[in-house]
Copies of this chain bind each other. A is one copy, B any other.
């Protein structure tokens, strides 16, 4: 990676686990002034090293009682699919969306208030991908031990 030194990496590692740490404290940790840290963080945001910041929320507090994983098998996976995936990624329900190796090449993690919403979401997937969608596997998340580098207790 160009223009990234060990201190930048240290900043990234810290921010990943403590996203709301203060710039002053961050500076203390990596031995830089608050202003310098700010410059580096802004540089890292510009470069795309930092995509954004998120609070890890227990979905139950938002009445999202159904956490679901969708695994999709597509018969074709081209640029066209990319456009659809990008659109699906934008949906409020969707927490994560990956393309991966293996038979079921798309993995989606999403949150729902109830099972009707799950059905609706599955229907939406079918509509978007059409005949291209060979198989959908749905599993429920029972326990979350860690998420976004933040462990549960």
CA separation between A69 and B47, bound complex, in Å?
26
Q: What does the 1/0 interface line of A79-117 toward B look like (CB < 8 Å)?
A: 000000110111000111111111001010000000000
Q: Answer yes or no: A78 CB below 8 A from chain B CBs.
A: no
A98 x B143 contact (CB < 8 A):
yes
Interface size class of A (residues with CB under 8 A): 35 or more
User: Which residue in B16, B57, B152 is a CB contact (below 8 Å) of A50?
Assistant: B57
B149 x A17 contact (CB < 8 A):
no
A61 x B1 contact (CB < 8 A):
yes
Contacts of A148 in B (CB 8 A): 52, 54, 56, 95-96, 147-148
Q: Answer yes or no: A76 CB below 8 A from chain B CBs.
A: no
